[in-house]
Structure 1
Amino acid sequence: MQTDVDPRSLIGRKAFDRNGAKIGTVDEVYLDDATGIPEWAAVRTGLFSRDAFVPLEPSELSENGLRVPYERSLIKDAPDFGVGRHLSPEQELQLYHHYGLDVALPGDIAAAPPDRDFGRLSGEDPRP
């Protein structure tokens, strides 16, 4: 995905699987705390009203929405960590394995350091 895209612009966009079938709507975007690069999107699937985490790389952004290069069934079966908090390194690793992605992360980091986690952006104001 383009790295110059404002991650907030993803929130509310429709997400589609590799075949063009609608998966749901981007609910939140998770950023790498170390680099600030958007890494994951939580997509409200409508399947039992849950959010499925999808990787933003190698997904593509178009004027129609976010195209995720995976089958809907794989996305539906992604680990469910809930939304609204940081992804732990262990959770991130589970997601990488689920999608068959290389564990190497942006910035040529071979593995996540123990204190690495992922912040989130949502359409909601985080202030109380």
Structure 2
Amino acid sequence: MQTDIDPRNLIGRKAFDRKGTKLGTVDEVYLDDATGIPEWAAIRMGLFGRDAFVPLEPSELIEGTLRVPFDRSLIKDAPDFGVGRHLSPEQELQLYHHYGLDIAPPPPLNHNSTNTTTQEDP
């Protein structure tokens, strides 16, 4: 998704699935803890429906609406963690798996262990 978009501008926008079916309205936007980049949107699905989390990458903001490249049924079945709370890394991982999105594991810690002993040839 375009990273120059203010996440506050997403609140209240209509959201549509990949087929153009209306999903609902963006209720909340969740930022990545490390980067501050908008990562997830909670979409209010129906008047009495629950909020469903959708990934903002690879979603697009087109002509003032959020286009989510997944089917409504998949979005509707996304894990429900409730809105207004912080998403834990484990919850985010569940959402990534639900949507079939591959995420790169964090890079391994670089332990520059050097061998301080030297062996001499006899």
Larger RCO (alpha carbons 8 Å, 6+ apart):
1
Aligned counterpart, 2:24:
24
Partners of 1:97 and 1:47 in 2: CA distance: 28
Q: Displacement of 1:48 after TM fit?
A: 4.9
Alignment of 1:1-128 (within 5 A): 1-46=1-46, 48-104=48-104, 110-111=105-106
Contact 1:47-1:76 within 8 A present in 2 as well: no
Contact 1:30-1:38 within 8 A present in 2 as well: yes
Coordinate RMSD, CA, aligned = 1.5
Look up the SS of the partner of 1:25 in the other structure.
Answer: strand
Partners of 1:96 and 1:67 in 2: CA distance: 18
Worse-superposed segment, 60-69 or 40-49: 40-49
Runs ≥4 in structure 1, deviation > 4 angstroms? none
Larger radius of gyration: 2
Contact 1:7-1:38 within 8 A present in 2 as well: yes
Q: Displacement of 1:73 after TM fit?
A: 0.2
AA aligned to 1:11 is I
**TM-score when scaled to structure 1?**
0.80
**TM-score when scaled to structure 2?**
0.84
Report how many aligned residue pairs link the two structures: 107
Contact 1:103-1:111 within 8 A present in 2 as well: no
Q: Displacement of 1:29 after TM fit?
A: 0.1
Look up the SS of the partner of 2:74 in the other structure.
Answer: helix
Look up the SS of the partner of 2:95 in the other structure.
Answer: helix
Partners of 1:65 and 1:57 in 2: CA distance: 15
Partners of 2:24 and 2:13 in 1: CA distance: 9
Structure 1: gaps spanning 5 or more residues: 105-109, 113-128
Contact 1:51-1:83 within 8 A present in 2 as well: yes
AA aligned to 2:95 is L
Partners of 2:33 and 2:99 in 1: CA distance: 21
Q: Displacement of 1:103 after TM fit?
A: 2.0
